[in-house]
Chain A
Amino acid sequence: MEKVCRDKKCHKKPVKSRRALNRSMAGNVTLFVFMGICGVFMAIPLIFVASNAFKPLDELFRYPPRLFPRNPSLDNFADLRVLMSNSWVPFSRYILNTIIITGGGTLGHVMVASMAAYPLAKHDFPGKNILFGVVVLSLMFTWQVTQVPNYLIISKLGINNTYLAVILPAFSYGLGLYLMKQFMEQIPDSLIESARLDGASEYRIYRSVIMPNVKPAWLTLAVLQFQTMWGNTGSQFLRDEQLKPLQYALLQIVNSGPARQGAAAVVTLIIAVIPITFFVICQSSIIETMTTSGMKE
């Protein structure tokens, strides 16, 4: 954190408790009450998602609806298992597809983006600023803009209806490169310089100096990329039922009408819980990465 110490006050001076500074009791209470109310509003829909999964069917259609189930049961989970075992393509296949697609897309993205981030952060080569500028520009629009041509390009490349159609474009998402590059900039140059004096090649420096020092960043990239890949149904590019990911199969159940409301409630819970779990595990690394995410002039 040496960059924070701009003025001379950084020398270990007894720091007064910050809480005491400029904090009125009334202000604290107001803010915390406000936060509590907002938190409840944010949480209620998700609590519904969770509790619906445990409601027996008659409670799902109860009037007036209840937030918490009166007789929690695992019937819905059993329903979902029946549905899954009756599915035309075995569910294990969907799960395998998801592992290939999210695993491949996430690993590849972290690798490729961090390889590109190192020179952008630490080397000074012609064209660097333009290239990074274009990546920043790409953060300013969403994938829908390029949807039509992407379809044409993927068909031309002959990878339509293969895993690659979903995995390859994911390697080059802009946000990951951006966050990684900003994070790498704070690695001290002296570290790289001394490795260079020891005769290490740039590839070696990338592998054994840079990568071990940006662990929070690649965890972050992995989690963010996983969130995107997990939500991808691949329906634009994957026509064969055998290639489709779990997300697609699960959404089919959600959209299959009121008779399957119970199973659908479980599905919604599963879809939400998995990325949330990853975030909980990696939260501190993600926040650490975000400290360097600012845009410089």
Chain B
Amino acid sequence: MKTNVGIEKSGRRPFGALFKSTTREWSLINRIIKNKASYVLIAPYFILFFVFTVLPVAMSMTLSFTSFNVLEPPKFIGWGNYIRLFLNDDIFRIAIKNTLIFAVITGPISYLMCLLFAWIINEFKGKIRAFITLIFYAPSISGNAYVVWNLILRGDKYGILNGILLRLDLIDNAIIWMKTEKYVLMFLIIVQLWLSLGTGFLTFIAGLQTIDKTLYESAAIDGIKNRWQELWYITLPSMKPQLLFGAVMQITQSFAVADISVNLAGNPSVNYAGTTIVTHLMDYGSIRYEMGYASAIATVLFILMVGSNKAVQRLLRKVGT
């Protein structure tokens, strides 16, 4: 099994070679036969993965060039959906702007929050450490508990934020926070950040544990003065794989904001201040049944998510090299 490793790495074969039974092709077939058990083991997962993930992405891209309402067969309309999306759909332009603002702010900030809190938590031990981890992680798994922010952000004097500000005489009248255009996005970002210490956060906590403690000792001898230098010169470079994985987790979720917008700002929100690409997609996919158009929105979302992930991966890989 291990003896043939070199073959696959030896570069691409010319296309014609596929039809000639050279020794190389035979050894490939041999390897496939020899690894029969591997294929049997991966089959259940990858069949389902293909049906429910790969195929849908391909279908979504194909459908994005059609007009399709589920009842009639899809009709090819070329770039029509995309032209409508970018030139004639004002709400989509707001959605894309909001989503980008969201991603550009919550992505990096949540990433740094995960890292910072994990780094501080790493100074604690045992039960206290487990407890602090729980406090910070709990919001991300607490289901719809974020609707409690509705109480905090309520528009009348019963709202907690209004109550505090009124008592401090900072405002004269209660502010209807989630119905005032200029506040909507800001509060959605705060709630999203509150929810964002998820898998990436746990990864960083775990990653910090694995760093060789003796590295810090030798660093102290080499003249590392304080914990900031330690962080920069030793800790971060040592946990690069975790940093890459955490970035994927945080970036992906920063583009997918929808539920909190619908539940806190309403759908549609005031002047579409809380509309995101995903809420727009839900609007066309599950309410208006314009599946071709919804697929075009989904494809734009896909490209944005994967593209920014790839770009950030490239950037992070450069760190420390």
A89-122 with Cβ < 8 A to chain B? 112-113, 115-116, 118-120
Query: Given contacts A148-B295, A202-B37, is CB(A22)–CB(B230) below 8 Å?
Result: yes
B229 partner residues in chain A, CB cutoff 8 A: 22
A203 partner residues in chain B, CB cutoff 8 A: 37, 40-41
B286 partner residues in chain A, CB cutoff 8 A: 147, 236
Q: Which of A68-76, A77-85, A269-277 contacts B (4 or more CB under 8 A)?
A: A269-277
The smallest C-beta distance from B70 to any residue of chain A, in angstroms, reads 8
From A35, A131, A230, name the one whose CB has the most chain B CB atoms within 10 angstroms: A35
The smallest C-beta distance from B102 to any residue of chain A, in angstroms, reads 14
- Summed over the interface, the residue pairs from A and B with CB atoms below 8 Å come to a total of 313
Interface of B is mostly: helix
A187 part of interface (Cβ distance < 8 Å): no
B78 part of interface (Cβ distance < 8 Å): no
Q: Which residue of B lies closest to A39 (CB)?
A: B135
Assess the B199–A149 pair: CB atoms within 8 A: no
Q: Provide the bound-state CA to CA distance between A31 and B253, in Å.
A: 28
Contact with A along B48-60 (1 / 0, CB 8 A): 1101111111011
Assess the B55–A9 pair: CB atoms within 8 A: no
Assess the A294–B59 pair: CB atoms within 8 A: no
Q: Provide the bound-state CA to CA distance between A262 and B229, in Å.
A: 52
A240-297 with Cβ < 8 A to chain B? 247, 251, 254, 268, 271-272, 275-276, 279-280, 283-284, 286-291, 293-297
A15 part of interface (Cβ distance < 8 Å): yes
Assess the A116–B226 pair: CB atoms within 8 A: no
Q: Provide the bound-state CA to CA distance between A63 and B291, in Å.
A: 47
Size range of the interface on B?
35 or more
Assess the A138–B53 pair: CB atoms within 8 A: yes
Assess the B298–A144 pair: CB atoms within 8 A: yes
A162 part of interface (Cβ distance < 8 Å): no
Contact with A along B258-289 (1 / 0, CB 8 A): 10000000000000000000100110011000
Q: Which of B87-95, B181-189, B215-223 contacts A (4 or more CB under 8 A)?
A: B215-223
A121-148 with Cβ < 8 A to chain B? 123-126, 128, 131, 134-135, 137-142, 144-148
Assess the A63–B256 pair: CB atoms within 8 A: no
A25 part of interface (Cβ distance < 8 Å): no
Assess the B256–A144 pair: CB atoms within 8 A: yes
A191 partner residues in chain B, CB cutoff 8 A: none
Q: Provide the bound-state CA to CA distance between A254 and B141, in Å.
A: 18
Assess the B202–A23 pair: CB atoms within 8 A: no
Q: Provide the bound-state CA to CA distance between A146 and B206, in Å.
A: 31
Assess the A272–B226 pair: CB atoms within 8 A: no
Q: Which residue of B lies closest to A287 (CB)?
A: B206
Assess the A140–B120 pair: CB atoms within 8 A: no
Mark A residues whose CB is within 8 Å of B. 1, 4-7, 9-10, 15-16, 18, 21-24, 27-28, 31-32, 34-35, 38-39, 42-43, 45-46, 48-49, 52, 61-65, 112-113, 115-116, 118-120, 123-126, 128, 131, 134-135, 137-142, 144-150, 152-153, 157, 168-169, 171-172, 174-175, 177, 201-203, 206, 224, 227, 230-231, 236, 247, 251, 254, 268, 271-272, 275-276, 279-280, 283-284, 286-291, 293-297
